[in-house]
Chains A and B, each alone.
Chain A
Amino acid sequence: KAGVTQTPRYLIKTRGQQVTLSCSPISGHRSVSWYQQTPGQGLQFLFEYFSETQRNKGNFPGRFSGRQFSNSRSEMNVSTLELGDSALYLCASSLDPAGANEQFFGPGTRLTVL
């Protein structure tokens, strides 16, 4: 069974640009969550999607957005990039949003903003 796939793995952008990151969950998983990992702030929850609906949202500005498609694949978008957005963005998939199910994490997309 293939794991969680994230593309691209590495990305370099400049301030002011926008970026879209993609996450393909494990087959059969319908819940996708996104996290930002930085050395200073650690792992922070961005949002969770289930059945194409955002179910949970973390404390991030509106520049961070996401969506989920009917095949459960998810994308997150960051507009007007700032230097502080440099981070490892992790996607996690789970069967459903029950919370007790195991979440499987992808390898992440490392975003560098110059």
Chain B
Amino acid sequence: AQSVTQLDSQVPVFEEAPVELRCNYSSSVSVYLFWYVQYPNQGLQLLLKYLSGSTLVESINGFEAEFNKSQTSFHLRKPSVHISDTAEYFCAVGLTGGGNKLTFGTGTQLKVEL
């Protein structure tokens, strides 16, 4: 069975500072990897995904994540955060051929401070 570990439950950071949210996964078969963001009282929104090909994937709002197969990681980074990035971030894994079932990590609360 697959699993996802997000080691940091909370990450405080000052505005305009860089941030990295860590995600490690475990699976015996090929996976798809996702980062979702959840703002208060809202559902989840897809931030970016890795399916295959280039290991570095980017979102339209400045986030990027790199798939590292040897370290089974998919860390999320942003070089300069904004107050509006304050939200909870979830890493998720789906199995190729496994339909739309996603296994989520426990989430990382990113708090951006002035």
Binding site for B on A (CB under 8 A): 4, 31, 33, 35, 42-45, 48, 50, 55-56, 58, 90, 92, 94, 97-108
Residues A99 and B90 in contact in the complex (CB < 8 Å), given A42-B106, A56-B99, A94-B100: no
In contact, B104 and A42 (Cβ under 8 angstroms): yes
Which residue on B lies nearest to A9, using beta carbons? B41
Contact of B32 among A42, A99, A104 (CB under 8 A): A99
Which residue on A lies nearest to B95, using beta carbons? A99
CB neighbors of A among B35-53 (8 A): 36, 41-46, 49, 51
In contact, A48 and B43 (Cβ under 8 angstroms): no
* Number of A-B contacts defined by CB within 8 Å: 66
Which residue on B lies nearest to A110, using beta carbons? B41
**Chain B residues with a Cβ closer than 8 Å to the other chain, count:** 26
Return B89 CB to nearest CB of chain A, in Å. 12
Q: Which residues of B contact A33 (CB under 8 A)?
A: 100-102
Q: Which residues of B contact A43 (CB under 8 A)?
A: 90, 92, 102, 104, 107
In contact, B101 and A100 (Cβ under 8 angstroms): no
In contact, B43 and A108 (Cβ under 8 angstroms): yes
CB neighbors of A among B67-114 (8 A): 90, 92, 94-107
Contact of A103 among B90, B96, B102, B105 (CB under 8 A): B102
In contact, A103 and B104 (Cβ under 8 angstroms): no
Return A23 CB to nearest CB of chain B, in Å. 11
In contact, A45 and B43 (Cβ under 8 angstroms): no
